[in-house]
């Protein structure tokens, strides 16, 4: 299989191209590395029709057969890991080690989901009645994925959707469609025709998916602003929706930690994938007693991190993925400099090709500054000083979003008590990015609707069905 050419959509198990194409740019060089098909409305309709036609047979298969096919997805991805990782790095920008990590996690996720089954709950069984709650697949699921983790977000949606008995029409981001299109090509011999359809395109395609009358559910990961438009469009046909949206995640560092020990963990919790992670540390609150020491250690660690083209050896962080996001982060830095805020490191964007933003750490800016209130989604981190737990919790919770947060302390009881007061869907204590296939993940407030992962996430791809059976009296 060739991974660096011949990009096609997968519709009804077949390769499909289009008259129009989308240029895909390597963010490290700004060079076009390929073209993805730009699906027409008729091609989307064909994909939805294929999924709709495949649904009866797929949903009727014994779940053991569906489990085996989900596990086979993992095997195929691992078999082609090196080539897929190189393509991932070329279009997304993350260094090769991080690309291979994502493929490994995709495989682990498929293997874990393949072990799930749909529960049947018995709520009553007596001499006169038996009542059971079953969970039935919805039908055709529309999945829309972002550019920061394109393969993992695809697996997070398609694996549970398929296991539950749904068929899928998946749309990757137009910024990073190539590795997802190749995944579709890879799975044409694994899944029956029509069960998984992958179509590429821009904003119009996303809007057609959310409005399509034959799609019963939309699972979307992206910005809060776009999520609101998805929800509005889906409401016209009362589609089920799962929305995993933006966050401005706070980390709270208590004064009992060792700054030198904690700094690398805090650094990578903020800057992994060049800070293009929805649950990365976006606001770092540090107790005044250790603020200077932690800030110093973070800067010293940052000096050891190499920024560059992710395809090159020795690179730790790659570029921001696309020009639009690059300009947004540059504007945030410009605003901070114009406001006279102090950078402990970074702050100046170099000239030259590539969407490179240097690691930038801002020293205790005002709480109402843009660098604090806005989600940068790029390598810019404000450090914020606090003295009082109640005050820092108020500040951490003063956000329209509530996706994740973290507490860092040697006193686990105190950390758990503080974490319980964070208004977020996930709280990590002394770690970051600990996603588990069997634990739900979702946001509070404007960070989303519904959850992914675990049994709760699996059941979001189903409709509940209650079956009550009255037992007939025996003839005398």
Strands 167-171 and 140-144: parallel
Phi and psi angles of residue 345, each rounded to the nearest 5 degrees, phi first: -160, 150
The crossing angle, in degrees rounded to 10, of helices 96-113 and 150-163 is 10
Rounded CA separation 119/398 (Å): 39
Rounded CA separation 343/361 (Å): 6
Q: Which has the closest alpha carbon to 460: 84, 27, 135, 46?
A: 135
Active site (catalytic) residues: 244, 278
């Amino acid at each position: 299989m060739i991974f660096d050419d011949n990009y096609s959509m997968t519709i009804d198990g077949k390769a499909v191209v289009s008259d129009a194409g989308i240029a895909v740019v390597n963010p490290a060089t700004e060079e076009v590395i390929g073209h993805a098909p730009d699906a027409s409305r008729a091609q989307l309709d064909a994909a939805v029709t294929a999924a709709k036609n495949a649904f009866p047979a797929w949903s009727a298969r014994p779940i053991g057969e569906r489990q085996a096919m989900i596990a086979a997805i993992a095997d195929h991805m691992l078999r082609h890991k090196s080539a897929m990782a190189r393509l991932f790095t070329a279009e997304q920008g993350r260094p090769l080690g991080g690309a291979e990590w994502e493929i490994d996690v995709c495989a682990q996720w498929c293997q874990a989901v393949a072990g799930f089954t749909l529960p049947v709950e018995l709520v009553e069984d007596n001499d006169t009645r038996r009542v059971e709650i079953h969970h039935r697949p919805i039908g055709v699921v529309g999945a829309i994925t972002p550019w920061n983790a394109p393969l993992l977000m695809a697996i997070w949606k398609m694996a549970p959707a398929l296991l539950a008995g749904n068929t899928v029409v998946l749309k990757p981001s137009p910024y990073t469609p190539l590795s997802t299109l190749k995944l579709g090509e890879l799975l044409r011999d694994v899944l029956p025709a029509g069960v998984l359809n992958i179509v590429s395109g821009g904003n119009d395609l996303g809007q057609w998916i959310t409005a399509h009358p034959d799609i019963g559910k939309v699972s979307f990961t992206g910005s809060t602003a776009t999520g609101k438009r998805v929800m509005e469009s889906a409401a016209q046909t009362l589609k089920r929706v799962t929305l995993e949206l933006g966050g401005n995640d706070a980390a709270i560092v208590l004064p009992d930690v060792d700054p030198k020990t904690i700094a690398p963990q805090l650094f990578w919790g903020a800057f992994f994938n060049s800070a293009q992670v929805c649950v990365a540390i976006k606001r770092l609150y540090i107790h005044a007693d250790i603020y200077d020491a932690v800030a110093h250690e973070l800067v010293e660690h940052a000096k050891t991190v190499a920024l560059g083209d992710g395809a090159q050896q020795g690179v730790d962080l790659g570029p921001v993925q696309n020009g639009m996001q690059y300009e947004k982060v540059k504007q945030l830095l410009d605003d901070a400099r114009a406001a006279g805020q102090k950078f402990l490191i970074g702050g100046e964007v170099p000239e030259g090709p590539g969407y490179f933003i240097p690691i930038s750490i801002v020293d205790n800016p005002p709480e109402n500054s843009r660098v604090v209130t806005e989600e940068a989604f790029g390598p810019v981190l404000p450090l914020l000083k606090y003295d009082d737990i109640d005050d820092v919790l108020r500040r951490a919770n003063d956000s329209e979003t509530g996706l994740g947060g973290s507490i860092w302390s040697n006193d686990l009881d105190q950390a758990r008590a503080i974490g319980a007061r964070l208004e977020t869907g996930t709280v990590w204590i002394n770690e970051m990015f600990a996603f588990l296939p069997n634990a739900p993940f979702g946001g509070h407030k404007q960070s989303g609707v519904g959850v992914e992962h675990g049994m709760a996430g699996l059941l979001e791809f189903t409709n509940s069905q209650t079956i009550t059976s009255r037992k007939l009296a025996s003839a005398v």
